A and B are shown apart, each in its own frame.
Chain A
Amino acid sequence: SQQGEEDPQALSIQEGENATMNCSYKTSINNLQWYRQNSGRGLVHLILIRSNEREKHSGRLRVTLDTSKKSSSLLITASRAADTASYFCATEGNFGNEKLTFGTGTRLTIIP
């Protein structure tokens, strides 16, 4: 079963604009991670945010985490055509449920 729901399911924006994707989850977590996947290939790890962190940056990526709302957001600034991909959030649970559970994904299309 899916732990997370991602919103929106699909997003199309013009190159240069910012893209925001949201992820909600259900149970308590150790950390939340964001991954990118290009056309049915393997996943590429983007960023990991721990449960005691609220915001994290990596290059053009900004991730926020609100554990009280059980939600996270991924912001990609100044989007490029190469950012076109599916983006997944994944949560690592705790207390005997440490497996990585993925959300449903957001399909991002950057229009040149």
Chain B
Amino acid sequence: KAGVTQTPRYLIKTRGQQVTLSCSPISGHRSVSWYQQTPGQGLQFLFEYFSETQRNKGNFPGRFSGRQFSNSRSEMNVSTLELGDSALYLCASSLSPSGGANDEQFFGPGTRLTVL
């Protein structure tokens, strides 16, 4: 069974631009979560989607948005990029949404975004 895939793996953008990252979950998984990892803030939760609905959202500005498609694939978008948005963006999928199911999350390799 193929793992979680993320595209692109590396991305370089300039301030003010926008970016869209893609995540394909493991086949059969309907829950997708996104995380941002930076040296200063560590791993921080961005949002979680299940069945095309956002279930949870972290403390990030509205410039960060996401969506999930009917095939469970998910995208996240960051508009008006800032230098501080440079980070490794990780996507994770699981069978069930968080909240008592105790399902393992499987992470993709991440997209490393550099904002110049």
Contacts and interface: CB of A to CB of B under 8 A. Distances in A.
B74 to A, nearest CB: 15
A99 B48 contact: yes
Nearest to A31: B102
Nearest to B37: A40
A40 B88 contact: yes
Interface stretch (B11-19, B64-72, B104-112): B104-112
A48 B99 CA distance: 14
A50 B48 CA distance: 21
A99 B44 CA distance: 10
Contact of B43 (A30, A44, A88, A92): A88
Interface in A1-46: 1-2, 30-31, 33, 35, 40-45
A87 interface: no
A104 interface: yes
Nearest to B106: A45
A104 B35 CA distance: 14
A43 B43 CA distance: 11
B56 A98 contact: yes
B81 to A, nearest CB: 20
B43 A99 contact: no
Nearest to B48: A99
A42 B109 contact: yes
A94 B104 contact: no
Contact of B99 (A30, A35, A44): A30
A15 B102 CA distance: 33
Given A40-B88, A48-B104, A104-B42, A98 B98 contact: yes
Interface of B: 4, 33, 35, 42-45, 48, 55-56, 58-59, 88, 90, 92, 97-100, 102, 104-110, 112
